A = this chain, B = another copy of it.
């Protein structure tokens, strides 16, 4: 049964839900950020079925989040690389990371670490213009005063 589609709703949260709501998709993207490129790397690291993984990768290619490149001719083998759109999705995973760490904690989790400084990195969502953490009680939907 195909579920309800949200990809045409006039809300960016709804359209993003349409993508994220495909089982496994956020984890496939996580693996792409961790350096997976080949089908077997995704498959072995996640333990997902080949059929589901194929569907997920195909949709991510269709959506322009990954591109498929031939890296071997005989037999033909492809690898998957992040596009700018796919790389931008890190923002969503980072917010999921932060919230999951705060509210669904598990002592076995690794940390996010800055390669250069060795410091722990903790994602936070702010207002781009002011740098202040977002306070949802101060927000409304509408048109800005500009």
**Residue ranges of A at the interface with B (Cβ–Cβ < 8 Å):** 3-4, 6-7, 10-17, 20-24, 26-27, 30, 33-34, 48, 85, 87-104, 106, 108-129, 131, 134, 136, 138-146
Q: Name the B residues within 8 Å of A88 (CB-CB).
A: 99, 102-103
A138 touches B114 (CB 8 A): yes
Distance to closest chain B CB from A124 (angstroms): 4
Distance to closest chain B CB from A24 (angstroms): 7
Could you list some 13 contacts between A and B, CB below 8 A? A12-B101, A13-B96, A14-B30, A14-B100, A88-B102, A92-B95, A111-B143, A112-B139, A115-B140, A121-B127, A121-B134, A124-B128, A125-B125
Q: Name the B residues within 8 Å of A120 (CB-CB).
A: 129, 144, 146
Distance to closest chain B CB from A1 (angstroms): 10
B99 touches A118 (CB 8 A): no
Q: Name the B residues within 8 Å of A17 (CB-CB).
A: 20, 26-27, 96
